[in-house]
Amino acid sequence: MLMKACTPSSVLLVCLGNICRSPTAEEVFRQQAAIAGLSIKIDSAGTSDSHVGDKPDPRSQRHAKSHGYKINKLVARQVSADDFRDFDLILAMDSQNLADLQAIKDDMAESEEDLAKLALFSEEDPTYCGSDVPDPYKGDNDDFEEVIERIESSAQAWIESWKAC
C-alpha cells in the first residue's frame, strides 16, 4: 500500500518517563503500521528526564510480552527540541504531556508549519475519544492491561484514519 499524503512519515509517542506507556505504544504502533503496510519511523520519549537510560518498567515489559510485544531492548530518553523538527507527528499519552510538549514547541523560534503536529494519542479513537491513557506506574496488573488495550485501540484508530484519507 502506498502512503497517502496525510500519513506521517514519522511519529513520536510521548509519556512522562518513557518507561511504561510510550515504549509500549512504540512497539504496538510499529507492529500495527507494518501489518497495514505503512512505512513510518516510530520512536518514543518522555517529557521528564527521571528515567533517561533506563529500560522499560519490568511490569510493562511483562504485560507487553504477554500480548506479543517485545519492548525489553528499548531505552528511555527525554524529548528534545530536535524531535519537533525530526518528527511529523508527536502523540502525547495524556493532557499533561500534551501541555508540556506544547510549551516546548511554543518556545521554539521556527514557524509552526516547520514543526511537528501535536495531538493526544487517543484523539482519533472513537472508543476513548481523546481521553488520557492512564499512567500505570503506581498501579497494579489491571492498570498495565488497560494501558495495552487502550494503546492497541488508539494506534489502530490512527492507522485507520490514515488509510481513509
Average pLDDT, the chain: 94
Q: What is the DSSP string of 11-46?
A: EEEEESSSSSHHHHHHHHHHHHHHHTT---EEEEEE
The class level of CATH for 10-164 reads alpha beta
Chain center to CA of 38: 16
Closest-CA residue to 91 (of 138, 35, 150, 5): 150
User: For the segment 41-82, what is each residue's pLDDT rounded down to a tens digit?
Assistant: 999 999 999 999 999 999 999 999 999 999 999 999 999 999
Residue where the block lists cell 509500549:
24
State pTM to two decimals.
Answer: 0.95
Domain limits of the chain?
10-164
Name the strand (E) or helix (H) holding 13. strand 10-15
Residues tagged active-site: 15, 21, 135
